Structure 1
Amino acid sequence: MTLQFIPYIMLNGNASEAIAFYEKALDAKVLSKQTFGQAPESVQNSMPSDVKDRVAHSVLRIREIEMFVADTEPGQQTHPGDRLSICITTNDIEKSKQFYGALQQGGQVITPLQEMYFSPAYAMVTDKFGITFQIFTTR
């Protein structure tokens, strides 16, 4: 089983600008970058055309550390306290279920654990201390 805890920055339409900034300021290397417009056609059909250029997910490497940067989904609100979350990444669906069950105790589920086009088991939960976690299961 693999397990990583990765900082995840969520922005509201300016993730591309932030990525370019981190490339210069932190000597970050962009390992991958996907826009909402690159999602499967069935997902794209439900989004406004002005959202398709937004960053759905990107991976930056700063020396040995990875950092994720993305824009929010259409209609998703951000608040100063939830722009930075921790992404728990594992290849074990059962472990994802365990983390999901434990972190929601006394907290709030933002996105229920479910299969998504990019993950067999993904969720977002704010724990009872106000910390937001994304649970991401790799294929």
Structure 2
Amino acid sequence: MALRLTPYLMMDGNAKEAIDFYQQALGAEVLFQQTFGEMPENSEYPLPEEAKERLSHAMVKIGESELMFSDIFPGQPFQAGNQVTICISTDDKEKTKQIYEALQQGGQVNMPLQETFFSPAYGIVTDKFGVTFQIYTEGKEQQ
């Protein structure tokens, strides 16, 4: 079973600018980048025009490390200084569930653990110490 922790930066509409900056300052290499507008459409939740160009997810490599980015969705609260979360990735759905359940004890569920178009199990929890974790199972084929 693989288990990896990656810093995840939540930006307020300027994730592309931050990535450009880190490319220049740190030699970051973009591994993946997708806007909300490039995600599969959901007719029940039409995408507002102001969200389409914001990044839904990006990953860069800096040296031997990876860093993830996303813009918050328009209208979500944003407070500078609180935009760093930790993404815990595993290749085992049961391990994801175990980590999710453990971290929510005394904490707060921000997004229930659920299947998404990009993961068989994904959820967001702020633990009892105020640290926010995105718990992610790699690969749709892992059921």
Interval containing the TM-score (normalised by the shorter chain): over 0.9
Structure 2 counterpart of 1:103: 103
CA, structure 1 residues 131+43, in 2 after alignment: closer, same or farther (shift >3 Å)? farther
TM, length-normalised to structure 2: 0.92
Alignment of 1:67-78 (within 5 A): 67-78=67-78
Question: Does residue 28 of structure 2 align to residue 28 of structure 1?
Answer: yes
Question: Could you tell me how far apart the structure 2 residues matched to 1:46 and 1:90 are?
Answer: 31
Structure 1's 84 and 44: CA in aligned 2 closer, same or farther, altered over 3 A?
Answer: farther
Q: Is the 8 A contact 2:50 2:74 kept in 1?
A: no
Secondary structure of the residue aligned to 1:102 is helix
- Please tell me the residue identity of whatever aligns with 2:41: E
Which letter does structure 1 place at the counterpart of 2:55?
A: V
Matches within 5 A, 1:53-72: 53-72=53-72
Distance 2:93 2:42 in 1: 25
Letter in 2 for 1:122: Y
Aligned length: 139
Match in the other structure for 2:113: 113
- Separation in 1, partners of 2:71, 2:59: 13
1:32 touches 1:58 (CA, 8 Å); kept in 2? yes
Please give the alpha-carbon distance, in whole angstroms, between the structure 2 residues aligned to 1:13 and 1:123. 22
Q: CA deviation at 1:85?
A: 0.5
Runs of 4 or more, structure 1, over 6 Å off, are none
Deviation at 1:109, TM superposition (A): 0.5
SS in 2 for 1:96: helix
Structure with greater helix share of residues: 1
Q: Tell me whether 1:51 sits opposite 2:26 in the alignment.
A: no
Per-residue displacement from partner, 1:14-69 (whole Å, max 9, x unpaired)?
00000000101111000110000111122695220121100000010001100001
3-state SS, counterpart of residue 115 of structure 2:
strand
**Residue 39 (structure 1) aligns with:** 39
**How much has 1:78 moved relative to structure 2?**
2.1
